[in-house]
Amino acid sequence: MYKNRLSHKVILAFLAFYLTLALPLIFIVFSPSGYARELTIDQYLTKIRETIIGFSVLAFFSALVFALFFIRGILRSARNLHDGVTKMRRGETNVSLHIYSTDELGDVTEAFNEMSATIHEYTEELKKKDLYINTMLDPLWVVDIEDVVIDINPAFTVLLGYQKVNAVGMCLYEFFDEKNRKIIQTQAKYWEKMLSHTFEVEIKNIYNTNIPVLISSAPVLKDKKMIGKVGVFKDFRAQRALRENMANIILDCIPDGVYTINMEKVITAMNSAAEKILRVTRSVAIGMPCSNVIMHTDQEGKSLCDQCPMSIAMKGEAIRIETTLQIGGRLTALLITCSPLFTPDGKITGAVQVFRDISEEKEIEQMKTDFVESVSHEFRTPLSAIVGMTEMLMEHAVKGPKKDEYLKTIYSEALRLSDMVSQLLDISTTEHGHIHFERELIDLKDLISSFISTYETKKAVKDKGAIISFADYRKDAPLHPFFGDKNRLKQVIINLLDNAVTYSDDGVRVAVELNTQNKNTIISVKDSGWGVPPEDLPHIFKRFYRGRHSRILKGTGLGLPLCEEIVKLHGGTITVESELGRGSEFVLTFPAEEGQ
């Protein structure tokens, strides 16, 4: 399509002006009238001059009209462009101007409209992107190449409290404490390689409180050069709490005590088993120096903090030791294993200690040692008597009544050995669940009274002058049938009677009572003997345990544990009440049969 140009308009205007001026003038000059031929040359020249002046005035006004008309068209387009530029300067991007001409100004106006449409399109696209960023739930910041914050989104303000006007211009390192600043500095290697990466760190809010976040960082590139960095934050408080809670749950499932320390030897984590062993709550212990919770000392009480297992572990060496420490006012044997804690790059950041209270194992080991010594002594005494007396009988060195006395002694000591072997076998079979149990209907009154009558004839009972009584208080209560193993029950009561007679002075009184309570059958054995020392009372049902009285009398420490196992086989319980110097009372409680 043909387009007018300003140069064409100027030429056309010049031609129009020229024709307006020149044609009449030529017509007058070259086509003189009859009147002009009658004039003299001077007069003719004067006439021409006057005509030229008139035409000059006409030419001026003609030129003025043409100029105004021409300029008006140019000014209208220029004013149109000026108005469009003003609108865009005010922020309007969707500006469309009317095209008044097809010349260069029209081309400029058309180009302006295209530019305006493009700017509007890009602006709307930027607004959308800005809207996306501003509606992001995750905080975002943009940092320039000098690590200065140049933009943030509203979520950043919500999380950390910094307004945009305050955050923009701050150095990114101002948002971190010294520890986390080092973490940020280690990420520089990724930025230098222009790589995207994700890392966990703690960032300070406006109140100077650290908030755990997960930052996904990526370089901002232009012409393959990094001009900045963009970071998207993920509030990691809930995830960290969940992770710590899960770690605590896992730690609490470990039966051994576990705690960790940092490089300052401050406790950073602890499980419930450690709380129990160390007798301190984790809320108190965490944040304390480990030496305040578990102190290693030499025999003189001097601190060995620098030589403790944790100190050794923090040097990069794992260690495993057994030691005895003063914890909660008592000595506690511990099996301790310590190992260093490393970062992914191999740097030691602290140590972890796993420890177990082996006091009970040590106590059992000591009990077994004492038991072996005691059993050896118990076996040696009757065996020596049996062997010695048997040799004398074989050599016919003893005759008459003395011979019968020796034979009775050999028989008595052999029965004693048999009883001890039976106890050992019973405790072994009970431990493995193989004890023989014959369940039958039992008349408890007849059973107890019959073997008490037999028991009273024993030499040891007569020698002590022990007085044994039996009473059945069930006369006024409904009698319920009792099912159990007759021989095992007899074994329990005889053991209790033996203890009552053995651990007492001459003339001891022993009362066996049979009663009912809430449909339960109660058998009690009460004596006026020495009683059980308070420190021994919690342990008397432990296997191999020998209390204070073991210094006076030997034994295996298996009688009462065996009694407890037999009572449990009957579905019952055995308890004891004792006062040192005044005697003890053992109570056996058997529940009623179902349906009674």
* Coil, strand or helix at 20: helix
| Residues near 24 by beta carbon (within 8 Å), at least 6 away in sequence | 55
- Burial class of residue 99, CB neighbours in 10 A (0-12, 13-18, 19+): middle
Residue 509 contacts residue 481 (beta carbons within 8 Å) = no
- Look-up of token digits 């003395």: 402
Residue 466 contacts residue 510 (beta carbons within 8 Å) = yes
Q: What is the H or E stretch that residue 572 is in?
A: none
Alpha carbon distance 590, 177 (integer Å) = 68
Select from 343, 129, 143 the least CA-distant residue to 233. 143
Measured in degrees and rounded to the nearest 5, phi and psi for residue 171 equal: -75, 140
Give the distance from CA 316 to its chain's centroid.
25
Report the 10 Å Cβ neighbour count for 136. 15
- DSSP alpha helix (H) spans, 279-358: 282-285, 309-313
Q: Which amino acid is at 570?
A: H
Alpha carbon distance 219, 139 (integer Å) = 17
Give the distance from CA 117 to its chain's centroid.
57
Identify the CATH class of 136-235: alpha beta
The DSSP annotation for 348-407 comes to EEEEEEEEEE-HHHHHHHHHHHHHHHHHHHHHHHHHHHHHHHHHHHHTT---THHHHHHH
Residue 499 contacts residue 559 (beta carbons within 8 Å) = yes
Calculate Rg over the CA atoms of the chain: 56
For domain 440-590, the question of CATH label 3.30.565.10 is answered with yes
First and final C-alpha spacing in the chain? 118
Q: Which amino acid is at 239?
A: Q
pTM, two decimal places: 0.48
Report the 10 Å Cβ neighbour count for 345. 6
For residue 482, give Cα distances in angstroms to 57, 442, 488, 511, 565. 151, 6, 14, 21, 18
Identify the CATH class of 363-431: mainly alpha
- For the domain 255-357, what is the CATH code? 3.30.450.20
Torsion sign (Cα): 145, 150, 153, 159: positive
pLDDT of residue 168: 92
Select from 152, 208, 150 the least CA-distant residue to 177. 208
Residue 256 contacts residue 270 (beta carbons within 8 Å) = no
Q: Fold identical between 136-235 and 255-357?
A: yes
22-73 tens-digit pLDDT: 666 565 555 555 555 555 677 767 776 776 676 667 666 766 676 666 666 6
- Look-up of token digits 């930052």: 215
Alpha carbon distance 580, 366 (integer Å) = 25
Residue 79 contacts residue 98 (beta carbons within 8 Å) = no
Select from 257, 255, 251 the least CA-distant residue to 334. 257
What is the edge-to-edge ordering of all strands in the sheet holding 257-262?
A: 267-270, 257-262, 348-357, 330-342, 319-327
pLDDT of residue 279: 87
Torsion sign (Cα): 274, 278, 283, 285: negative
- Burial class of residue 276, CB neighbours in 10 A (0-12, 13-18, 19+): exposed
366 token code pair: 């000591």
pLDDT of residue 339: 93
Q: Which amino acid is at 566?
A: I
Alpha carbon distance 143, 110 (integer Å) = 39
Q: What is the H or E stretch that residue 74 is in?
A: helix 41-89
Measured in degrees and rounded to the nearest 5, phi and psi for residue 272 equal: -70, -30
* Beta pairing partners, 431: none
* Domain edges within the chain: 1-134, 136-235, 255-357, 363-431, 440-590
pLDDT tens per residue across all 596 residues of the chain: 445 555 556 666 666 666 666 666 565 555 555 555 555 677 767 776 776 676 667 666 766 676 666 666 667 777 777 777 888 788 777 777 777 766 677 777 778 888 888 888 888 777 777 776 677 778 898 999 899 999 998 889 999 999 999 999 999 999 999 888 888 888 877 877 778 888 889 999 999 999 999 988 888 888 888 888 999 988 888 888 888 888 888 888 888 999 999 998 899 989 999 998 888 888 888 888 888 887 766 555 566 677 788 888 888 889 998 888 877 777 888 899 999 999 877 889 999 999 998 888 887 787 777 667 766 766 776 777 788 888 888 887 777 788 888 888 888 778 777 777 776 777 667 666 666 677 888 888 888 888 888 888 887 788 888 888 888 877 655 566 788 888 888 888 888 888 888 888 888 899 998 888 888 888 999 998 888 888 888 888 877 667 666 666 666 677 788 888 888 888 899 999 988 888 999 999 998 776 55
